[in-house]
Structure 1
Amino acid sequence: MSIESLNKRFSNPHVRFSQHEALMMVDLENDHGHASLTTFGATLLSYRPRGGEDVLWVSETALYDGKKPVRGGVPVCWPWFGAYDPAALGADPSDAHKKGHGVARYALWDVESVETVGDATQVVFVLRPDDEIRKAWPLDFILRLKVSLGQSLEMTLVGENLSDRDWQVSEAFHTYFSVADAEGLVVRGLDGTPRVDKLAGGARGVQAGEVRMSMPMEQVFLGHGGPLVIEDRGNGREIVIERENSASSVLWNPGPEGVKAFADMPDDQYRKTVCVEVANALEDAYALKAGASHAMRMRLSVRG
């Protein structure tokens, strides 16, 4: 569908469709701020509260060619997070097609609806399996992402199992936050939470007090669904993350050596972003029963 026809079909004074290189963009703007998304991966690329700086980070060298996910923003990881785990579906001939973090972030989503709800602007994306997706995930599903720009930015991911068998889901909003300096950055809200250190061979422990970021870092915090607060002191703000139906948090930064593996991320940019991810990972993965659905929600706001 052309940009012109989309703007006509989903006519709304707070929503505009446009083209950026190979990607279709959807911009939301109202009295509360601005948000920008692409239908490729249904990825949120920008969230600027009114009068504030962008909450999200996108690489200066990100690719918009529609062949690989844009580096940054909020990639959607579903129905698996990280490398594919055969426990999700069992080994099958499609395993060779299973890319990291699932199928959703590599696919073109459709816009299902655009509307104004109270003083918020809302867009719903929908993904149904096509032949390419079925190479990696042969079971039938429907996945929706609702993004609402109001006093906060809210994202709701709803997966529905339309097949005749159960499967296991792990998932995440793999959010890249824009920060003044990731080194030593404080994240509050995880005190007393069981922790898995992926860079230490999966060593387990319990978090004591606030988390202070060190580079590199990849830690998964389990069995906790409370709010998180990022102390972005250099920008004079706190970023508040609230969630529902999410029991895991993931903190990640590639560090000065790891960043060199990413051709679409400048080597010095690892200090300008930190991933604080709302997830259901490792043993927090859940069984999605045949005919059932599950909704995971994240809400972002800023105070400062």
Structure 2
Amino acid sequence: MSPVTERTPVHLPSGVSLEQVNGTEALVINTPAARAVLHLDGAHLTSWTPAGEQDVLWLSELSEYGDGAAIRGGIPLVGPWFGPGRSGDKPVKHGWIRNHPWELTEASFDGKDVVLELALVDADPSGGGLRADARFRIGAELSVDLTLTAGAQEVEVEAALHTYLAVADVRELRIHGLQGADYLDNTQGLAEDRQEDTALELTGPTDRIYSVNSEVRIEDVAGGRSIVSCPRGTAKTVVWNPWPELAAGMADMPDDAWTSFVCVEPAVAKESAQVLRSGGALTIGVTYRVER
């Protein structure tokens, strides 16, 4: 990492610096409570390491950066649609807010936590004036909030926090909090199904949209820790891992990297999409903590 020559207009508190990370501008946080890296491109958090812990977020060593690239790993901010959109024909997967540079609007401390606020304005390719705002609270716990606000035009929106969680071995996970829930199976053409009354254990390619908006605990058996996801303002929980069958076709991911992460994504998607009138807003968020 090396310092950036141009300074951000927002005053950065002690423990927060603007640096070049993988060739693009990023805010680097280093405090007694946690270390983190937040890229301005996409307002994309790629690392969060609470004191005394290993990184909670997974990041591909082959990820692309800059020039509208979608970083593979961390917490991609998804919107104003999820996947190909409800129509199935959107030109950019998971929307455009993660493919533009965001502006830092506020940086401060709240107790021991760093609070960073960013905005994406005048980037809506449709001309409708949709804007996006993100807030990160980084410390012993991590909180992320994403707000989409309609411009002059009414718009239907989906949103998600596409979090890649670092695990020791995805084949030895137990995901608690989904028991008995209905889900859509995207590996089977969005077929409807229901989770058994037991913790979810992944045994193959997984791409499920659960009708769950409550706490989920990812028990990393091999890693000896659990990651707890506490969503707010959401309607769905997406669970995704490509397994080797799909990972082999991803140029920005090593073929064997699929074992070291699982995506557990708080979302408003599919039939839970919301129509925002002019000036209306949708906010989703999540708080993560590590338990041992």
* TM-score using structure 2 length: 0.94
Q: Write out per-residue CA displacement over residues 220-265 of structure 1, whole angstroms, 9 at most, x where no aligned residue.
A: 102x211000011111100000011011011111111101111110
Computed over aligned residues only, the root mean square deviation of the Cα atoms, in angstroms, reads: 1.8
In the aligned structure 2, how far is the partner of 1:139 from the partner of 1:86? 18
1:59 maps to a residue whose letter is S
Q: Write out per-residue CA displacement over residues 29-64 of structure 1, whole angstroms, 9 at most, x where no aligned residue.
A: 222211111011111100101010000100111122
User: Which of residues 223, 228, 233 is equivalent to 1:245?
Assistant: 233
Kindly indicate whether residue 142 of structure 2 is the aligned counterpart of residue 149 of structure 1: no
User: Is the CA contact 2:241–2:261 (under 8 Å) kept in the aligned structure 1?
Assistant: yes
In the aligned structure 2, how far is the partner of 1:257 from the partner of 1:44? 27
Q: Match for residue 114 of structure 1?
A: 107
Kindly indicate whether residue 203 of structure 2 is the aligned counterpart of residue 210 of structure 1: no
Q: Match for residue 122 of structure 2?
A: 129
In the aligned structure 2, how far is the partner of 1:221 from the partner of 1:8? 42
User: Is the CA contact 1:84–1:99 (under 8 Å) kept in the aligned structure 2?
Assistant: no
Kindly indicate whether residue 138 of structure 2 is the aligned counterpart of residue 138 of structure 1: no
Kindly indicate whether residue 143 of structure 2 is the aligned counterpart of residue 159 of structure 1: no
Seen in structure 2, the aligned counterparts of structure 1 residues 65 and 127 have a Cα distance that, compared at 3 Å, is closer
Size of the alignment, in residue pairs?
A: 289
Matches within 5 A, 1:3-18: 3-6=4-7, 9-18=10-19
Q: Match for residue 76 of structure 2?
A: 75
User: Is the CA contact 2:10–2:106 (under 8 Å) kept in the aligned structure 1?
Assistant: no
Q: Match for residue 64 of structure 1?
A: 65
In the aligned structure 1, how far is the partner of 2:279 from the partner of 2:115? 26
In the aligned structure 2, how far is the partner of 1:170 from the partner of 1:86? 12
In the aligned structure 2, how far is the partner of 1:190 from the partner of 1:100? 26
User: Is the CA contact 1:7–1:16 (under 8 Å) kept in the aligned structure 2?
Assistant: no
> Residue 7 of structure 2: SS of its match in structure 1?
helix
Instruction: For structure 1, list consecutive stretches of 5 or more residues without a partner in the other structure.
Output: 88-94
Matches within 5 A, 1:98-113: 98-113=91-106
In the aligned structure 1, how far is the partner of 2:110 from the partner of 2:122? 29
Matches within 5 A, 1:228-243: 228-243=216-231
Q: Match for residue 92 of structure 1?
A: none
* TM-score using structure 1 length: 0.90
Kindly indicate whether residue 214 of structure 2 is the aligned counterpart of residue 226 of structure 1: yes
1:188 maps to a residue whose letter is H
Q: CA deviation at 1:184?
A: 4.1
More helix by share: 1
